[in-house]
Amino acid sequence: MNKNKQKKLGAFYTPDSLADEMVKKFESLEGNFVDFTAGDGSLLRALNRAGVDWNRLYANELDKDSYENLLKLSPELPKEHVLNMDALDDECHKKMLEITGGQYQVILNPPFHIGGKIVTKILEWMPER
């Protein structure tokens, strides 16, 4: 992605070393994982390096070019696990519930300009305990 587009989108991809550290914060690596703002897939790669099978990884990316690159991330990542939707749209959450079977953990490092908004949305989507 060129620098102008990257700046416009607020996209600064997570370095592998930071992605690995983020994955270590999870108490459990069981179940499905979703990155609603997947970018270049660094968090998905980190989860896979930590032992999470590609079949339990799901992604969404709004930027069409980044989305197309995610489809090529791994031949083992099912293409139907990758969405090209607005992560702030409730339809994105509904589709993710559908394709994950309704259960998943969230990992993300969102673009700066939507960071607070996406976290608020995800909290709204979470079932009450």
- pTM score of the predicted model: 0.86
Q: Into which CATH architecture does domain 26-125 fall?
A: 3-Layer(aba) Sandwich (3.40)
- Quick check: 84 pLDDT over 80? yes
Confidence of residue 15 (pLDDT cuts 50, 70, 90): confident
pLDDT reported for residue 124: 84
Domain locations along the chain:
26-125
Q: Quote the mean pLDDT of the chain.
A: 87
13-45 as b/e: b if 16+ CB within 10 A: bbeeeebbebbeeeeeeeebbbbbbbbbbbbbb
